[in-house]
Chain A
Amino acid sequence: MAAVSFPALVPSSRSYAPGIFPEQQFQSQNGAVIRVRYGNQRYSSSLSLTFANITDANAALILQNFVDVMDDDNYAEFSASNVAGGASTELVPWIRETNSLLKWKYASPPSVASVKPGLSTVTCEFIGELEGV
């Protein structure tokens, strides 16, 4: 497994969810809940990115990143200056998942919508998967 750096592109919109913890809930008839926790690491964090009206050349960089990540057992690596661009320092470790054991994989292939000749809007969906546990 190797890290593949994401292209130097800052998204125009970003949505992050930290995932969930592995547990099973049992709810009795009186409403009481019992949780059986199977681990102490969250998993399935999600990250949605939109790159609005970028050049087709930059859109191609994202598509190539998708291939480089998914054609082998690799993961995408973000930096504070690209995908986490604009986020405060407190939030950057969450978006990069450097504060967890999660690795970013593409949840689905990137979607490229052509806007006009030479310009496209690309949306990407990532999922954080537990690795090395």
Chain B
Amino acid sequence: MARYYAGQDGSVELGGNAVAKVVQWSLAANTDALEVTTLSEDVRAFTAGLRTASGSLTVLYYDDAPVNLLNQVNQDTDADAAITATARLKLKFDTKFFEFDAVLTGAELSCVVGEVMRVNVSYTMSGDFVSKSL
């Protein structure tokens, strides 16, 4: 039976350090479709354009909160001198992974009755994948 992967196989690294209490991560990779249809054609034709990727991850806000993640979103260089314009993210599931530089574009903290406080972080990949293993 082929090996399958589930949520328990997933993890995230930020700048080489594991991010604790990750609930979910997602990655959406896209390629622009550039139209190359000419006036002599009846059907639209396309060629590949620029590639992009973006996504989000959700982290539970425990005592070992992802403060460095939030500081990275806010570009708070006073809090952490190691913060740069882009963050190196590594999205893992078991031994497979996507590694890339990303701009963390947003953080949403939510504190809800009956739920553990959590942080949703969104990102946009900058440049191509540094490495990946699928």
Chain A residues at the B interface, C-beta cutoff of 8 Å? 10-14, 52-54, 81, 85-87, 115-116, 119
Contacts and interface: CB of A to CB of B under 8 A. Distances in A.
A87 B35 CA distance: 20
A116 B50 CA distance: 7
Contact of A12 (B35, B47, B50): B35
A85 B39 contact: yes
B38 A53 contact: no
Contact of B40 (A52, A54, A86, A115): A86
Nearest to A85: B40
Given A53-B47, A116-B49, A116-B50, A11 B35 contact: no
A112 to B, nearest CB: 15
Give me the 5 closest cross-chain CB pairs, A-B, nearest first: A86-B39, A85-B40, A10-B38, A86-B40, A53-B34
Interface string B23-54: 00000000000111111110000010110000
Interface residues on B, range: 10 to 19
B34 A12 contact: no
A87 B41 CA distance: 11
B47 A52 contact: no
Contacts of A13: 39
Nearest to A84: B39
A61 B39 CA distance: 19
Contacts of B47: 53, 119
A85 B39 CA distance: 6
Contacts of A12: 35-39
A104 B50 CA distance: 36
A12 B37 CA distance: 6
A52 B47 CA distance: 11
A53 B50 CA distance: 12
